[in-house]
C-alpha cells in the first residue's frame, strides 16, 4: 500500500487535477507498474503506446528537476500560475514559450520523450502557466483563441532550425506551431521516424540498457506501417539506409546490451539519411542492396531474411513501364513535375500534417508487424556481403566523431568514413581497414545549390560526375568470428571497382 504522504508532489497534484476534471482513471508509471516484478514491467512497457494513444490526455510537467516539482495552480496544494509566455514589440506579439521550453530538463530525459510524442493530447505545465496541445492546434491559457493569431519568435540561422528539429520538434502542425505528437499514417513514414530517432538518441538515461524500453512506444506506433517492423530499433523496410546511420556529435561509450550495428548500441546522438517518397527523383538518393541479411528467431531457431524491400518501391519513381501495385493509381499533372501516385485507402486526414506530400512513387500500406518483440531475435546478424580492404587517410578537420578520407591500395582517393570514436589516437594514418558493402547508391547533382554529399563539391575525382555513384559501407573489426561496427562511409563506385572485392559470409554483432 502506498500512503498519500509518501507520494511526490507532482503525483498528488495530478490525482487532484484528474478528480476535479471528473476523469475516472489516472495512469502513473511508478504506481501502475510493479517496479520489482519483471513480468509486470515487460507487459506494461509493451502496452505503453496503447496507453498514451487511448488516454484522454497526458499531463506533461516540462519544468523542475524531479517528481516533487508539482503542478502550479492546483487549488489548495500548489502555488499560482502567473508566467506570460509572450513578448511584445511595437504592434507585434511573439510567443517565446517553445524556445524556452526546449531548454528545460524535461527535454533532456529519454524516458519523457515517448510520452509526449505518442500522446494525442497533452496538458503542458511550464514556468507557472499551462497550455493545451493536440494534433490540430496549440492553445495557451493566457489567450483563449487559436494560436495561429500569434506569430512565433523566429530563430536566427539554419543551424538553429536544425538543432531544434533534432532535439525538440517533431514537425509543425496546421497552426504553424511546433508539433510534439506523432501523426499516424498508414504508410512507412520514414521522415517522421527519422526525426524521432534523432531527437531521442541524444537524450540522457540513468541506465543506457533501458533505451529500447524508453523508445518502445514509438516503435509500437510505427510497426503496423513498416514492412518487417523494427529490429533493435532499426526499420527493416529501409535496412540499407538505416544500418548505415552515423553519429552526429560526440560518441558516447559502447552499450553492450545491444548490437553495434544498431544505434541503440552506442551512447550519443545519431541520425540516418532520409528516404523521401515525396521528393522528385532528381532530388533523391536511390539505392540497390549489395548485401543479404538474415535474422534468427531465438525461440524457433528459424532464420528469416531481413525485409529491406524499399528498392522495389523506388523503381516506380524512376520508371513508368510497370503497372503500379494494387490500390495505387499513377497520374500526371501540370502542377507537379513527373508522375505521381495516389491511393484511395489513404484518407484525407492522413495527409493533413503532410499537405506538401505528393507521392512520386507508391508505398506499402499498413503491411508491417503488430509490435516489435526484440526478445525473439538474436542480436547477431548473418549476412553475405562484398568486402575489401581500404587504407586510412587524413582526418577531415577536428570533428567529433573523427571523419577520415579513405584511399585504395595505389594511394588514390576512394571515399569518406565517419567513425565511431572521438580520439584521433584510435587510428593510424596508413593502416588498413576492412569494409563491407551495404548498397550501391546514386545521387544527381543539384544545380545552383550546395551538393548533398561533401565530396561532390570538394573532390576533383567526382565533382563532374552526374549522377554521383557510391557504395555505402561499414568499417568492421573482428573479435573472434564476430564482426563489430567501427564506422560508416561512402566509397566512390569507380574506386570500389578498382579494389580486390570478394564475397564473404559474415556475422555482425
Question: Residue 348: what pLDDT?
Answer: 55
Distance, CA of 363 to CA of 310 (rounded, Å)? 9
Specify the DSSP element, H or E, that contains 495: helix 493-497
Question: Is residue 240 in some structural domain?
Answer: yes
Residues 357, 215 contacting (CB under 8 angstroms):
no
Same domain, 145 and 233: no
Residues 240, 438 contacting (CB under 8 angstroms):
yes
More confident residue, 340 or 102: 340
On the question of pLDDT at 275 being above 70, the answer is: yes
For the residues 35-45, what does the mean pLDDT come to? 80
Question: Residue 356: what pLDDT?
Answer: 45
Percent of the chain with pLDDT over 90: 51
Distance, CA of 23 to CA of 56 (rounded, Å)? 9
Q: What is the mean pLDDT of the chain?
A: 84
Question: Residue 335: what pLDDT?
Answer: 60
Question: Residue 165: what pLDDT?
Answer: 31
Question: Is residue 182 in some structural domain?
Answer: no
For the residues 141-164, what does the mean pLDDT come to? 41
- Return all residues near 146 (Cβ < 8 A) that are at least 6 apart: 137, 139, 175
* Burial (Cβ within 10 Å: 0-12, 13-18, ≥19) of residue 476: buried
Residues 213, 180 contacting (CB under 8 angstroms):
no
Question: Is residue 428 in some structural domain?
Answer: yes
Question: Residue 494: what pLDDT?
Answer: 96
Nine cell digits for residue 161? 532550425
Same domain, 198 and 275: yes
Same domain, 405 and 489: yes
For the residues 442-454, what does the mean pLDDT come to? 87
Question: Is residue 184 in some structural domain?
Answer: no
Same domain, 339 and 200: yes
Which of 376, 390, 411 shows the shortest CA–CA distance to 490? 390
Looking at residue 6, the DSSP 8-state letter turns out to be G
Question: Residue 142: what pLDDT?
Answer: 64
Same domain, 99 and 208: no
Question: Is residue 39 in some structural domain?
Answer: yes
Please report which confidence band the pLDDT of residue 164 belongs to, taking 50, 70 and 90 as the band edges. very low
More confident residue, 130 or 492: 492
Backbone angles phi, psi at 296, to 5 degrees: -115, 130
Q: For the segment 276-286, what is each residue's pLDDT rounded down to a tens digit?
A: 888 888 889 99
Distance, CA of 93 to CA of 507 (rounded, Å)? 59
Please report which confidence band the pLDDT of residue 190 belongs to, taking 50, 70 and 90 as the band edges. very high
Point out the domain boundary residue: 312, 344, 375. 375
Residues 226, 211 contacting (CB under 8 angstroms):
no
Name beta bridge partners: 254: 266
On the question of pLDDT at 473 being above 50, the answer is: yes
Which of 207, 205, 182, 177 shows the shortest CA–CA distance to 194? 182
Span of 27-36, 134-143, 282-291, 331-340 with lowest mean pLDDT: 331-340
Question: Residue 265: what pLDDT?
Answer: 97
Question: Residue 371: what pLDDT?
Answer: 63
Q: For the segment 48-93, what is each residue's pLDDT rounded down to a tens digit?
A: 888 888 899 999 988 888 888 888 888 777 777 765 656 666 666 5
Question: Residue 163: what pLDDT?
Answer: 36
Residues 267, 193 contacting (CB under 8 angstroms):
no
Q: Which residues form the domain of 97?
A: 4-167
Question: Residue 90: what pLDDT?
Answer: 65
Distance, CA of 167 to CA of 488 (rounded, Å)? 23
Question: Residue 143: what pLDDT?
Answer: 60
Question: Residue 370: what pLDDT?
Answer: 63
170 to 35, 113, 155, 194, 259: CA distances (angstroms): 31, 11, 16, 9, 27
More confident residue, 330 or 291: 291
- Return all residues near 87 (Cβ < 8 A) that are at least 6 apart: 93, 94, 95, 96, 153
Residues 244, 281 contacting (CB under 8 angstroms):
no
Point out the domain boundary residue: 352, 375, 398. 375
Question: Residue 94: what pLDDT?
Answer: 60
Same domain, 400 and 465: yes
Question: Is residue 332 in some structural domain?
Answer: yes
Point out the domain boundary residue: 375, 410, 427. 375
Please report which confidence band the pLDDT of residue 151 belongs to, taking 50, 70 and 90 as the band edges. very low
Same domain, 387 and 367: no
Distance, CA of 504 to CA of 66 (rounded, Å)? 52
For the residues 341-353, what does the mean pLDDT come to? 66
Question: Residue 409: what pLDDT?
Answer: 87
- Return all residues near 22 (Cβ < 8 A) that are at least 6 apart: none
Same domain, 203 and 232: yes
Nine cell digits for residue 228? 518487417
Of these ranges, 183-197, 244-258, 446-460, the one predicted with the greatest mean pLDDT is 244-258
Same domain, 273 and 314: yes
On the question of pLDDT at 384 being above 60, the answer is: yes
Question: Is residue 503 in some structural domain?
Answer: yes
Please report which confidence band the pLDDT of residue 158 belongs to, taking 50, 70 and 90 as the band edges. very low
Structural domains of the chain, count: 3
Question: Is residue 244 in some structural domain?
Answer: yes
Same domain, 159 and 202: no
Question: Residue 334: what pLDDT?
Answer: 62
For the residues 481-507, what does the mean pLDDT come to? 97
Distance, CA of 45 to CA of 67 (rounded, Å)? 20
Which of 145, 132, 139 shows the shortest CA–CA distance to 58? 132
Question: Residue 357: what pLDDT?
Answer: 53
Specify the DSSP element, H or E, that contains 402: none
Please report which confidence band the pLDDT of residue 148 belongs to, taking 50, 70 and 90 as the band edges. very low
Same domain, 116 and 199: no
Same domain, 368 and 386: no
Please report which confidence band the pLDDT of residue 242 belongs to, taking 50, 70 and 90 as the band edges. very high
Amino acid at each position: 500500500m502506498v500512503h498519500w504522504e509518501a507520494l511526490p508532489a507532482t503525483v498528488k497534484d495530478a490525482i487532484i487535477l484528474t478528480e476535479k476534471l471528473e476523469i475516472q482513471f489516472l495512469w502513473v508509471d511508478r504506481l501502475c507498474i510493479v517496479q520489482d516484478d519483471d513480468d509486470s514491467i515487460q507487459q506494461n512497457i509493451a502496452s505503453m503506446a496503447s496507453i498514451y494513444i487511448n488516454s484522454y490526455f497526458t499531463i506533461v510537467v516540462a519544468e523542475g528537476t524531479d517528481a516533487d516539482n508539482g503542478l502550479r495552480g492546483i487549488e489548495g496544494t500548489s502555488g499560482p500560475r502567473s508566467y506570460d509566455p509572450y513578448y511584445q514589440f511595437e504592434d507585434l506579439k511573439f510567443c517565446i514559450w517553445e524556445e524556452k521550453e526546449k531548454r528545460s530538463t524535461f527535454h533532456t530525459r529519454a524516458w519523457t520523450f515517448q510520452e509526449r510524442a505518442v500522446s494525442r493530447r497533452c496538458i503542458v505545465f511550464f514556468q507557472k502557466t499551462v497550455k493545451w496541445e493536440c494534433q490540430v492546434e496549440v492553445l495557451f491559457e493566457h489567450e483563449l483563441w487559436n494560436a495561429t493569431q500569434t506569430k512565433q519568435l523566429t530563430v536566427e540561422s539554419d543551424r538553429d532550425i536544425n538543432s531544434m528539429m533534432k532535439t525538440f520538434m517533431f514537425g509543425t502542425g496546421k497552426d504553424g506551431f511546433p508539433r510534439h505528437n506523432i501523426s499516424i499514417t498508414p504508410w512507412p513514414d520514414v521522415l517522421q521516424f527519422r526525426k524521432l530517432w534523432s531527437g531521442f538518441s541524444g537524450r540522457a538515461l540513468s541506465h543506457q540498457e533501458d533505451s529500447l524500453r524508453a523508445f518502445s512506444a514509438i516503435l509500437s506506433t510505427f510497426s503496423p506501417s513498416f514492412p518487417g517492423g523494427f529490429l533493435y530499433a532499426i526499420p527493416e523496410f529501409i535496412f540499407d539506409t538505416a544500418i548505415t546511420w552515423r553519429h552526429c556529435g560526440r560518441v558516447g561509450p559502447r552499450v553492450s546490451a545491444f548490437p553495434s550495428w544498431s544505434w541503440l548500441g552506442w551512447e550519443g546522438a545519431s541520425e540516418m539519411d532520409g528516404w523521401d517518397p515525396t521528393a522528385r527523383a532528381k532530388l533523391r538518393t536511390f539505392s540497390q542492396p549489395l548485401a543479404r541479411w538474415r535474422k534468427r528467431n531465438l525461440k524457433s531457431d528459424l532464420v528469416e531474411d531481413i525485409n529491406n524491400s524499399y528498392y522495389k518501391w523506388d523503381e516506380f519513381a524512376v520508371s513508368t513501364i510497370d503497372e503500379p501495385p494494387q490500390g495505387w493509381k499513377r497520374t500526371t499533372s501540370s502542377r507537379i513535375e513527373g508522375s505521381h501516385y495516389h491511393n484511395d485507402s489513404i484518407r484525407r486526414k492522413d495527409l493533413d500534417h503532410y499537405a506538401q506530400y505528393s507521392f512520386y512513387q507508391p508505398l506499402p500500406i499498413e503491411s508491417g508487424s503488430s509490435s516489435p518483440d526484440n526478445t525473439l531475435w538474436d542480436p547477431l546478424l548473418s549476412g553475405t556481403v562484398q568486402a575489401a580492404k581500404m587504407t586510412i587517410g587524413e582526418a577531415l578537420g577536428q570533428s567529433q566523431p573523427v571523419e577520415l578520407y579513405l584511399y585504395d591500395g595505389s594511394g588514390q582517393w576512394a571515399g569518406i568514413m565517419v567513425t565511431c570514436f572521438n580520439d584521433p589516437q584510435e587510428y593510424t594514418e596508413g593502416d588498413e581497414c576492412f569494409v563491407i558493402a551495404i548498397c550501391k547508391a546514386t545521387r544527381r547533382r543539384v544545380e545552383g545549390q550546395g551538393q548533398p554529399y561533401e565530396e561532390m563539391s570538394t573532390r576533383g575525382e567526382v565533382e563532374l560526375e552526374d549522377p554521383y555513384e557510391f557504395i555505402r559501407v561499414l568499417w568492421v573489426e573482428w573479435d573472434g568470428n564476430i564482426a563489430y561496427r567501427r564506422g560508416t562511409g561512402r566509397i566512390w563506385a569507380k574506386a570500389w571497382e578498382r579494389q580486390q572485392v570478394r564475397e564473404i559470409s559474415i556475422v555482425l554483432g
